Chains A and B, each alone.
Chain A
């Protein structure tokens, strides 16, 4: 088991290093970051000064190595906008995003899982099939549009909820809704199909042969057996969530990593962008790792395969 964890951590580190490399490459692909950020509004002396100050005149391989070693100590350099340490800027925005993402996942699961279970217990009813078709269609809705519609409805028309900023629980409602609604439909479909798969397996008949009711079977056995694929799926959804979060944060001016990244991109604050990319990639890796560990805890077969 320890070897399994070790291997996954090693794989995760490789991904993080790759993220660092990619973001470094992006920042430097068009030549000097100084040129990219400040444009050509500098006199040759100013440019030379800046280049030297930031160490951009050194060979790229050396800069890469310096960069990696600095990053591994948490030093992402200064934000090119306001000289604050980039890492600090990013970490300041992190809790806002975390609250949003966590809220969205919890809300989506809290609604979707019971709906899916109920749907399975009442399979083959007309309502169930209509609902499923409907849900499938809802998946095509872009989350930023949904967010705007919510704002239109609840802020502009009804004046119930604030549309901008992070000021207390009220302002959290719409962003979480916008992010969780598309997720809900996906989760319902997935959990339902997983449950149906599990319910088709041999051991379910054996459980009925022991005299268990459908209810007992679904709650005590089917759900647990569907958990592992569900966790895997959630981990996969994280990639999508990152994108959705960025867009939703933008709509609501929510001061999280998404907004930070977009504004940094607009002014070409490369150090902050790099920090964001690396941080998000790291978070992604950590969460995937946690998901894997959770699966190993649930399913004893995985523990064996991992040895």
Chain B
């Protein structure tokens, strides 16, 4: 699922080469994605009032639901 997040985020930012995502299993069912982007791109992945971040989370939640999991996306700053 990491690939999906990476695929979307890389299209959103100015510096795709600085996109870095780590995936951690919190338990059997929960995956945490820690998303790191260039400082100048932070605003792009968060969006006004966090709208972009929320939309990314919704899409990731859909993908993980299909796989019987839940996912958490954390944006590191």
Do A and B belong to a common assembly? no
